[in-house]
């Protein structure tokens, strides 16, 4: 730390609380108005924006799901034609995976991780701003193409040759591939920020074994993002090359291979599922601990299970390909590895049950969602074990059984915890509580609606209904159950409607929350709600895994950060010993401009390979502006 500051530099040691807050606010604030909104690098503003945008995409994706259910309620319905239907399920899947589920989890981390580790901003805050803009551009690209009736129509995994130059007409598949590039660049940026924030910016004393479980889960997730990314970048670039400049990576007639696509896609696509699920594990662990009024049981096994899941996630992509005709030995290996992932999942479930067992569970809304999560996720996990068996899978692969399975893990396993997390952290983010009454209604409707909608799909699948069909014939015995499913989807949507109403209502008129309404134990609750732009008046010093429970009266704090410029504490990776104070970038318009330039280049490159060359010039200019050295003195150590 900078103990030998020259007196000319004002630090937080020199002021009383009120004066300190005034000065910090002056340094860290985001100006009001449009300019402030476009230039801010405050992780809370960007995180909030990210979360809201992701939920807008959730609502849009939900509307698409309702449209599909309307069409499928009756046999041979003519409500939506095959072309639109194919766009709709592709949009629904791609939107839910790439524009909702992954971004919303990263967005929660963008907001919460810096607060939970006790720092003033995320690492690389300008990159963070850039990430949001790029994500928004990717989302708009996809939805505008849908509005123009030229959305991708090849499914969210875009198998070749259907998505290749011969069968994928127009620019639809290119739009899909480029949308992936947008969202993956955005995700990669956030992943890097999280790794660095967690490794280097933790509050003094927060050694590795004191990191909150949500932060651990995001750390593992971030590594998954970083490692899965090369595969999808390779896949989507080669697809665009095949389509745009006539290479033959995937053309069997010219020595290419259709299965290569599936390997590349699922090498990314399977970890992608855990990129969505692992943050949910962190959320559940956090909520269960708070509402059981005790530390979570088995911190170490839970961390190990997170890491084990992260590693295993890369060893089971082939279970998406059990019917392509693989050698028997390969099938056996991937059956075993897919089954094995049930073991860390089991460890997690048992530790949570033990926490409930040994605690005093209080059934507030966040906890209700967690209980709903346990009920449904265990079903999804067990159907996962079923499809991991090759012979079993040959009957249910690509049927509604699989649609049921992955909604049990995605909605039951990730969206339920996410909704619980929103109820849980909303007071921190907005300063107001959400309604407990509406919360219970939302939970009841969503839980019942979800199970009534998706459980029958298991049976439909076993009864032979394939997925991705825009209609079915009246002689098939599926009509009654499809009607029931479609009706139940309305109940489910009603539940989401109540949730959205509650969010909007509570933002305006919810009860004032106070610093720590749930009596939780982690650092984000040690500052006001919503937190000030500088997060913490003084940086806390952590002496335990549950700082607010073990040091309930007053946290010890570290001092010595300057107040006249943005400064953070940099600490060591393992022990979180403070090592240096480092300056944190100020607001800037360059990330937005760089995002715009990148957007132009990426969209242009759908139409001409030369875009990669000419389009990089504006990107170069904006990046130069971004990194132009200011006269800030070197960081002090």
Partner 1 sequence: MKAGAAVVLFVSAILIAGCNGAQSALNAEGAAAVQLKHLIIGIVVVCSVVWALVMVVLVLALLRARTPRESPSSESERRMGKLVTAAVAATVVIIAGLTIASFYATRGLGMSEDATLAIKVRGQQWWWQFIYDDVDPAKSFQTANEMHIPVGVDIRIELESSDVIHSFWVPSLAGKRDLIPGRQNVITIRAERPGVYRGQCAEFCGLQHSHMALFVIAENMAAYQRWAAAQRASSVSSADPEATAGKALFMRKPCAACHTIRGTEASGSTGPDLTHVGSRQTIAAGLLDNTRGSLAAWIADPQTLKPGNNMPMVPLSSDELRQLSAYMESLK
Q: What residues from 159 to 198 belong to the interface with partner 1 (CB under 8 A)?
A: 159, 161-162, 166-167
Residue in 46, 57, 258 with CA at minimum distance from that of residue 166? 258
Per partner kind, with CB cut-offs from 5 to 8 A, the member of partner 1, ligand HEM, none near residue 462 is: partner 1
Number of residues assigned to the chain: 637
Residue from 348, 365, 453, 535 in contact with ligand HEM (CB under 6 A): 453
Per partner kind, with CB cut-offs from 5 to 8 A, the member of partner 1, ligand HEM, none near residue 625 is: none
Residue from 492, 542, 569, 623 in contact with ligand HEM (CB under 6 A): 492
The smaller minimum CB distance to partner 1, of residues 476 and 573, is found at: 476
* Beta-carbon contacts of residue 634 (< 8 Å; ≥ 6 apart): none
Binders in 349-408 for ligand HEM, by CB under 6 A: 403, 407
Per partner kind, with CB cut-offs from 5 to 8 A, the member of partner 1, ligand HEM, none near residue 415 is: ligand HEM
Nearest distance in Å: CB 403, ligand HEM: 5
* Beta-carbon contacts of residue 369 (< 8 Å; ≥ 6 apart): 287, 416, 417, 419, 420, 423, 443
Distance CA 391, CA 398 (A): 14
Do the beta carbons of residue 313 and residue 274 sit within 8 Å? yes
Residue from 41, 96, 127, 213 in contact with ligand HEM (CB under 6 A): 96
Distance CA 223, CA 278 (A): 11
- Contact between 234 and partner 1 by CB under 8 A: the answer reads no
The smaller minimum CB distance to ligand HEM, of residues 56 and 621, is found at: 56
Do the beta carbons of residue 127 and residue 193 sit within 8 Å? yes
Distance of CA 559 to the CA centre of its chain: 34
223: enclosing H helix or E strand: helix 213-244
Binding mask 265-304 for partner 1 (x = CB under 8 A): -----------------------------x--xx--x---
Give the Cβ contact number of residue 294 at 10 Å. Answer: 18
Residue in 231, 214, 368 with CA at minimum distance from that of residue 278? 214
- Contact between 458 and ligand HEM by CB under 6 A: the answer reads no
- Contact between 101 and ligand HEM by CB under 6 A: the answer reads yes
Distance CA 290, CA 533 (A): 26
- Contact between 379 and partner 1 by CB under 8 A: the answer reads yes
Do the beta carbons of residue 568 and residue 16 sit within 8 Å? no
- Contact between 191 and ligand HEM by CB under 6 A: the answer reads no
- Contact between 77 and partner 1 by CB under 8 A: the answer reads no
The smaller minimum CB distance to ligand HEM, of residues 120 and 467, is found at: 467
- Contact between 259 and partner 1 by CB under 8 A: the answer reads yes
Distance CA 515, CA 554 (A): 13
- Contact between 90 and ligand HEM by CB under 6 A: the answer reads yes
Q: What angle do CA 324, 325, 331 make, to 5 degrees?
A: 100
103: enclosing H helix or E strand: helix 102-116
Nearest distance in Å: CB 198, ligand HEM: 25
Q: Helices 258-292 & 213-244, crossing angle to 10 degrees? A: 160
Binders in 428-467 for partner 1, by CB under 8 A: 462-464, 466-467
Per partner kind, with CB cut-offs from 5 to 8 A, the member of ligand HEM, partner 1, none near residue 253 is: partner 1
- Contact between 75 and ligand HEM by CB under 6 A: the answer reads no
Task: Give a three-class secondary structure readout of 137-199.
Answer: HHHHHHHHHHHCCCCCCCCCCCCCCCCCCCCCCCCHHHHHHHHHHHHHHHHHHHHHHHHHHHH
Residue in 635, 623, 571 with CA at minimum distance from that of residue 594? 623
Residue from 3, 7, 32, 328 in contact with partner 1 (CB under 8 A): 328
Distance CA 94, CA 105 (A): 16
Residue from 149, 475, 554, 634 in contact with partner 1 (CB under 8 A): 475
Binding mask 79-118 for partner 1 (x = CB under 8 A): --xxx--x--------------------------------
Number of residues that bind partner 1 (CB under 8 A): 83
Nearest distance in Å: CB 595, ligand HEM: 25
The smaller minimum CB distance to partner 1, of residues 10 and 361, is found at: 361
Binding site for ligand HEM (CB under 6 A): 62, 65, 68-69, 89-90, 92-93, 96-97, 100-101, 155-156, 403, 407, 410-411, 415, 453, 467-468, 489, 492
């Amino acid at each position: 730390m900078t103990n030998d500051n020259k007196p000319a530099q004002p630090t937080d040691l020199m002021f009383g609380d009120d004066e300190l807050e005034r000065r910090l606010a002056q340094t860290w604030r985001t100006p009001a108005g449009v300019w402030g909104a476009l230039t801010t690098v405050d992780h809370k503003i960007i995180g909030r924006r990210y979360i809201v945008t992701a939920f807008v995409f959730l609502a849009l994706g939900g509307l698409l799901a309702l449209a599909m259910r309307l069409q499928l309620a009756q046999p041979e319905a003519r409500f939506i034609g095959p072309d639109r239907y194919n766009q709709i399920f592709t949009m629904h899947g791609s939107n839910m995976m790439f524009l909702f589920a992954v971004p919303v989890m990263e967005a929660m981390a963008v907001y919460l991780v810096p607060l939970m580790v006790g720092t003033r901003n995320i690492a690389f805050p300008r990159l963070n701003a850039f990430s949001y803009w790029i994500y928004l551009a990717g989302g708009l690209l996809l939805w505008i193409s849908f509005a123009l009736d030229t959305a991708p129509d090849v499914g969210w995994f875009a198998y070749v040759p259907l998505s290749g130059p011969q069968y994928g007409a127009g620019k639809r598949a290119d739009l899909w591939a480029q949308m992936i590039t947008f969202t993956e660049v955005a995700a990669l940026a956030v992943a890097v920020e999280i790794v660095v924030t967690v490794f280097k910016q933790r509050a003094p004393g927060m050694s590795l074994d004191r990191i909150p479980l949500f932060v651990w889960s995001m750390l593992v997730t971030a590594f998954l993002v970083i490692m899965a990314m090369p595969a999808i970048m390779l896949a989507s670039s080669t697809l665009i090359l095949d389509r745009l400049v006539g290479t033959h990576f995937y053309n069997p007639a010219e020595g290419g291979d259709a299965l290569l696509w599936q390997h590349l896609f699922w090498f990314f696509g399977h970890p992608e599922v855990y990129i969505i699920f692992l943050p949910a594990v962190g959320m559940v662990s956090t909520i269960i601990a708070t509402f059981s009024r005790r530390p979570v049981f088995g911190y170490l096994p839970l961390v190990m299970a997170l890491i084990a899941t992260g590693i295993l996630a890369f060893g089971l992509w082939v279970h998406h390909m059990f019917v392509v005709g693989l050698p028997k030995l390969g099938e056996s290996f991937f059956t075993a590895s897919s089954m094995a992932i049930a073991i860390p999942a089991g460890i997690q479930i048992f530790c949570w049950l033990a926490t409930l067992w040994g605690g005093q569970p209080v059934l507030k809304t966040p906890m209700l969602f967690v209980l709903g999560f346990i009920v449904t996720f265990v079903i999804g996990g067990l159907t996962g074990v079923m499809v991991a068996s090759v012979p079993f899978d040959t009957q249910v692969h690509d049927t509604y059984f699989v649609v049921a399975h992955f909604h049990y893990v995605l909605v039951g396993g990730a969206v339920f915890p996410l909704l619980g997390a929103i109820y849980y952290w909303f007071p921190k983010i907005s300063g107001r509580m959400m309604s407990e009454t509406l919360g219970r209604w939302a939970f009841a409707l969503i839980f019942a609606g979800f199970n009534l909608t998706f459980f029958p799909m298991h049976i439909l699948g076993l009864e032979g209904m394939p997925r991705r069909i825009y209609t079915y014939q009246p002689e098939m015995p599926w009509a009654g159950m499809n009607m029931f499913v479609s009706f139940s989807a309305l109940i489910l949507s009603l539940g989401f409607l109540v949730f959205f109403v509650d969010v909007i209502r509570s933002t305006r008129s919810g009860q004032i929350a106070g610093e720590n309404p749930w009596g939780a134990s982690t650092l984000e609750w040690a500052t006001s709600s919503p937190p000030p732009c500088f997060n913490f008046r003084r940086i806390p010093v952590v002496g335990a895994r549950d700082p607010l429970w073990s040091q309930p009266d007053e946290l010890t704090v570290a001092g010595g950060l300057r107040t006249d410029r943005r400064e953070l504490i940099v600490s060591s990776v393992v022990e979180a010993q403070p090592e240096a104070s480092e300056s944190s970038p100020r607001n800037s318009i360059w990330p937005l401009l760089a995002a715009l330039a990148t957007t132009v280049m990426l969209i242009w490159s759908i139409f001409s390979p030369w875009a990669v060359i000419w389009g990089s010039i504006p990107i170069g200019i904006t990046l130069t502006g971004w990194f132009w050295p200011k006269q800030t003195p070197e960081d002090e150590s």
